[in-house]
A and B are shown apart, each in its own frame.
Chain A
Amino acid sequence: MHELAIAQAILDRAQAASENNRGGRVLKIGLRIGEISGVEVDALTFGIEALSKGTPLEGLALDIERPKRRLRCTSCASEFEPEGLAIGCPACQHEASDCIAGNELDVTFIELEDPPCE
């Protein structure tokens, strides 16, 4: 259940964005959570709801991208999305590759309520 600690880190970032923008209410947080990031999206969503309850962040929406695992062959440099756990290159059958996507755990954007007209 490290999702709770991650949820708190996300809420802290959103709170900071609000404070840096004259306390505008946070409407939405954009997240990028790769499929092998080790983060369970349902547990994270639950954590964000539970931790924001009764705070100014309550009710915010989440916009979550889920990048698939993507590898680049260390021999021929072709890029591929492997089936399951396989790591072999489908182009040249080389057995080693670098992970170039799928382990992201990023805050991409924060959407705030527009400040009132002066």
Chain B
Amino acid sequence: MRVDVEEKVLSENDKLAVGLRERFAAQRVFCVNLISSPGSGKTALLERTLEALPRTARVALLTGDLQTENDARRLARAGFPVKQITTGGTCHLDASMVGRALGEWNLADIDILFVENVGNLVCPTSYDLGEHCKIVLFSVTEGEDKPLKYPSIFAIAELCIINKVDLLPYVPFDLDQAIANVHQVHPGMEVVQTSCTQVRGIQDWLAWIERRRATAIPV
């Protein structure tokens, strides 16, 4: 006996993600899902981002790793609400983890929710977390061909951040080629260049967030 199914394998995750997206919309929360390899500087970028925001900004963060609370401790220094999601062995965040981590937070008190995914350019691509947009980050120490090696995330993300640009004089990284590679996979994709040690490009990134948030959550 053959039962026709025709549904997405991750339909359970997708259903939960739809629920999260509805909650975010109802409470006017703009949610960003930040994805990169381990060590590209997601946490550092978020540290500089939080430092650049006024203390009154209504921002919250979820940060995913396999183990340790290290990232949450780093991010908590800025004084905004942070929760660590430790996945055990799982290489990505899924919608149920995000739903649990939001816990008793009152979403009405949050304007922007940053979700720092587990460091991985492959698996997080498949999991909808109910976010408004995925953002991919890679750094100049990784090689300019990252977009060609991991095209799915670069195709699906709305913004590409190239981090650690302060190291450009010291590494054989061809910035023009990197941007051309991004555009080969995703024509017209916006690219922001940042340095978290020299605090460069953070205002460009914040400006992008404000523009994107305005389209996601019209006044």
Contacts and interface: CB of A to CB of B under 8 A. Distances in A.
B211 interface: no
A46 interface: no
A106 B5 CA distance: 9
Contacts of A111: 1-3
Report which residue of B1, B12, B185 has the largest number of chain A beta carbons within 10 angstroms of its beta carbon. Answer: B1
Contacts of A61: none
Contacts of B2: 109-112
Interface in A1-34: 1-2, 5-6, 9-10, 12-13, 17, 21, 24, 30-31
B5 A107 contact: yes
A5 B185 CA distance: 27
Given A2-B92, A13-B9, A109 B152 contact: no
The size class of the interface chain B forms with chain A is 20 to 34
A21 B13 CA distance: 24
Contacts of A113: 1
B37 to A, nearest CB: 15
Nearest to B188: A96
Contacts of A30: 5
B3 A21 contact: yes
B104 interface: no
B90 A5 contact: yes
Interface string A35-59: 0111100000000000000000000
Contacts of A17: 3, 5
Given A21-B3, A87-B187, A36 B9 contact: no
Interface stretch (B20-28, B42-50, B118-126): B118-126
B155 A99 contact: yes
Interface string A50-87: 00000000000000000000000000000000000111
Contacts of A108: 4-6
B152 A2 contact: no
Contacts of B151: 36, 85
Given A1-B91, A2-B126, A109-B3, A85 B184 contact: yes
B100 interface: no
B148 interface: yes
A106 B123 contact: no
Given A87-B185, A109-B3, A110-B5, 7 more contacts: A6-B10, A38-B123, A38-B126, A85-B148, A105-B126, A108-B4, A109-B5
Give me the 3 closest cross-chain CB pairs, A-B, nearest first: A2-B123, A107-B5, A110-B3
